[in-house]
Structure 1
Amino acid sequence: MTARARVTVLTNPASGHGSAPHAAERAIRQFQKRGVDVVAIAGRDAAHARQLTEGALERGMDALVVVGGDGIISLALQVLARTETPLGIVPAGTGNDHAREFGIPTRDPEAAADVIVDGIVDTVDLGHIVGADGTRRWFGTVMAAGFDSLVTDRTNRMRWPHGRMRYNVAMVAELSQLRLLPFRLSFDGAEVSTDLTLAAFGNTRSYGGGMRICPNADPRDGLLDVTMVASASRTRLIRLFPTVFKGTHVHLDEVTTRRARTITVESPGITAYADGEYVCPLPVEVSAVPGALKILRPG
C-alpha cells in the first residue's frame, strides 16, 4: 500500500484547450492501479473550484492533485499555502511552468501520477502579494509588471484570434506603443526610482511557458529574484526576446537583477500578474515566504 492512500484530484476542464479532463482520466486510472483512493472534483468556475478544494482539505487527504496548468495551480496554492497537505501536479496546461521547475513529466499523465505516489515531499517557498486595494495572493512562479502585463491585459480584452496567436498579436500591438514606464521600487527598504520596460519577481525561474526570466531564482532560498529590463528600442527588445528562453538575457546591458525578501512595486496604470493570472493594480508589496508549500516531486 502506498504512503499516499487518498488523494483529491482537482481538474480545470478548460486547461490545455480542453485536454485536462482526458489527462485526469488517465491519471485517475493510474492511481487506481496503484491502489490509491481518489476523490475527483471539478469546479464550474474558479470560486466553485476553490470552495470544493477547501471542503476536500477539511475532510483530509494525503495530497491535492491538480490537473491543468499554472492557472488552476494558482487557485490550489491559495488553499494549500502554509498547510501540511502536499500539492501533486498532473500537467495539462499551455505553460506548465510549475511542472517544469520541479521536474514533473509534462506529456505523460501516468508518469506524473507515479511521481505523486512514489515521489518525495519537498518544502519550498511561495511568493505572496499584498495589494494597496486589499488583495492578498500567493504565487509559485513569477509576478510580472510592465510590458508583459500590458500584453496580458490586451490579450484578455481580445476576442480573436484564439490560443497562442492572440498573445502574439497583442505583443505586436504593445510593441508598436513601446515606452519606458516610471517605476518606484524598494528592495528590503532600499528605494529605487527608475524607468523600466518590465520588472519580473521570481520565486522560480520561468514563466510564459519556459521563458527563464529569472534564471537564477531558487524556491528554497527565502528570496525573490528580480529581473528589470529597460529598453525603449523595439529592435533591441525583439532581439532580447529569444535570449529569455535560455536565460542569457541577464548578461545584456538593458537588464539588471536584484535579490530581496520583500519588495514594494509602484508604477501608475500598471497591473500585476502572477502565475499568468491577473492579481491587482500596482502598488503592491511582494515577498518570499520561506517553506510555505509542500510539493511532490521526483525523488
Structure 2
Amino acid sequence: MTRPVTFLVNPAAGGGLRPAAVQEVVAAFEALGGDAEVVTSPGADALPDLVAAAAASGRVVASVGGDGMLSHLVGPAAASGARLAVVPAGRGNDFARMLGLPGAPADVARVLATGTTRAVDLVAWQPPGAPAERLVAGSVYAGIDARAAVLVHRMRRTPGPLQYPLGALRAIATYAPGRFRLDIDGEVHELDAGMVVVANSGFYGKGMHIAPDAALEDGVLDVVIVAAASRLRLVRSFPSIYDGSHVRRPEVTVLRGRRIRVAADPAPGRGALDVGADGEPLGVLPALDAEPALVEVRPAALEVLVPDLSRG
C-alpha cells in the first residue's frame, strides 16, 4: 500500500480543460495500490481547512492545477506540516518544471506512490499594513511581467502556448519604467527599471528562465532587475529570457539577498505598479514615500514530493 493522497483540484486550471487529467493520474495511482481522495476546490478561502484536514489524517496534499493553485496551497501546507505533491495541470507549471517533475499521468502517479521528500524554500510577501504574510513558491515580481500576467488572465480564445509570449510582448509595447527602491539585506539601490523579480524558483511565465542561478534550497532569493530600456531593445532581447542568457545583457542586473524591501513610483501619468506572484495578482507596490513592502525567504519551509532517483 502506498501513501494516502488527497487531490485538491482547481476546476479552472488550464482554462478549464486540464483538470480532467487528474482522472488518469488517480487511476494510475490506485493501480499502484494508492489511497486516493479527490476534492474539487470550492475556492481559495476553503483551501486552508482542506489542507489542515488532510495533514491531520496523515495524507499527502496534491495540488492539481498550475502555479496559481499552488500559490494558495503552499502557505497552508507549510503551516500544517503537510507534505505537498504537484500534479501539473495549469498554463505554466513552472514550479513543477523547477522541481524536475514529470507530466505524463503514469509518471506523476509513480512520484506520488514512491517519490521522496524534499524540503524547499518559500517566499514570504507582506505589504505594509497587511495582518499576515503570504507564502508563495516561485517568485514575486513587479513591472512588465506583472502587467503581462494581468493580460494573460484576460485571454480566453488565445491558444495556450501563445498566451505568455503574447502577454509579455503586449506588456512591453505599453510599458513605461518605474522608479524602484530596493533595500537588499540593508544595501539600498534606487534606479529606473522596467521590471524587478524576486525569485526563489528559476522559472516563470511558462518556461521563461528568469533567474537561471536560483535554487530552491539555498536560503537566498535572486533579485533580477531589468533596467529602463527602449521598447525595441526589450522586444529584441525577449527571446533570450527562455534560455537564461538575458542575464548577460547590460540592462540586466542580478543581486541576491534574504530580506528585500521594495517600493516604487510609476512613470508620470501612469497608475501604480502592479505586483504579482506565481501568476496571481497581489495588488500594487507602495510608493517611494510610503512604507515599503517586504519580501523574505523562508528556508526549508515546505516538504514536497519529487522523483526518487535512486529507483532508476
* TM > 0.5 fold call: yes
Partner of 2:289: none
RMSD of the alignment, in Å? 1.9
Partner of 2:34: 36
Q: 1-side partners of 2:208 and 2:242: how far apart?
A: 4
Q: 2:282 aligns with which of 276, 279, 283?
A: 279
State yes or no: 1:56 paired with 2:54: yes
Deviation at 1:137, TM superposition (A): 1.1
Tell me the percent identity.
Answer: 34
- Structure 2, unaligned runs of 5 or more: 266-271, 287-292
Indicate conservation of the 8 Å contact 1:179/1:232, yes or no. no
Deviation at 1:184, TM superposition (A): 0.6
Q: 1-side partners of 2:235 and 2:88: how far apart?
A: 30
Distance 1:254 1:278, change over 3 A: same
User: What's the secondary structure of 1:44's corresponding residue?
Assistant: coil
Q: 1-side partners of 2:228 and 2:259: how far apart?
A: 25
**Amino acid across the alignment from 2:39:** I
Indicate conservation of the 8 Å contact 1:97/1:209, yes or no. yes
Q: 1-side partners of 2:139 and 2:209: how far apart?
A: 10
Partner of 1:249: 246
Q: 1:119 aligns with which of 107, 115, 118?
A: 115
Distance 1:54 1:182, change over 3 A: same
Indicate conservation of the 8 Å contact 2:66/2:91, yes or no. yes
Q: 2:94 aligns with which of 70, 88, 97?
A: 97
Q: 2-side partners of 1:154 and 1:92: how far apart?
A: 20
Deviation at 1:119, TM superposition (A): 1.1
- Structure 1, unaligned runs of 5 or more: none
Distance 1:187 1:258, change over 3 A: same
**Amino acid across the alignment from 1:175:** I
Distance 1:114 1:155, change over 3 A: closer
State yes or no: 1:225 paired with 2:222: yes
Deviation track 1:147-184 (CA, whole Å, cap 9, x = no partner) reads 1112333444x476545556555544433333221001
User: What's the secondary structure of 2:42's corresponding residue?
Assistant: coil
Partner of 2:269: none
Indicate conservation of the 8 Å contact 1:74/1:140, yes or no. yes
User: What's the secondary structure of 2:242's corresponding residue?
Assistant: helix
Indicate conservation of the 8 Å contact 2:55/2:80, yes or no. no
Q: 2-side partners of 1:19 and 1:12: how far apart?
A: 11
Partner of 2:298: 289
Partner of 1:131: 127
Q: 2-side partners of 1:203 and 1:278: how far apart?
A: 17
User: Aligned pair count?
Assistant: 294
Deviation track 1:188-214 (CA, whole Å, cap 9, x = no partner) reads 011111110101111010001110111
**Amino acid across the alignment from 2:307:** P
Deviation at 1:33, TM superposition (A): 1.2
Distance 1:54 1:229, change over 3 A: same
Partner of 1:196: 193
Deviation track 1:87-113 (CA, whole Å, cap 9, x = no partner) reads 11111111001110111112x122111
TM superposition score normalised by structure 1: 0.91
User: What's the secondary structure of 2:64's corresponding residue?
Assistant: strand
Partner of 1:23: 21
Distance 1:180 1:243, change over 3 A: same
Deviation track 1:61-85 (CA, whole Å, cap 9, x = no partner) reads 3311111111111111121124432
Q: 2-side partners of 1:257 and 1:142: how far apart?
A: 14
Deviation track 1:244-273 (CA, whole Å, cap 9, x = no partner) reads 100011111000010000001101311321
Distance 1:172 1:182, change over 3 A: same
Distance 1:258 1:8, change over 3 A: same
Indicate conservation of the 8 Å contact 2:223/2:256, yes or no. yes
Q: 1-side partners of 2:221 and 2:236: how far apart?
A: 26
Indicate conservation of the 8 Å contact 1:64/1:88, yes or no. yes
Indicate conservation of the 8 Å contact 2:164/2:205, yes or no. no
Deviation at 1:234, TM superposition (A): 1.1
Indicate conservation of the 8 Å contact 1:160/1:166, yes or no. no
Partner of 2:12: 14
Instruction: After superposing the two structures, state which structure 1 stretch, 179-188 or 231-240, moved more.
Output: 231-240
**Amino acid across the alignment from 2:67:** D
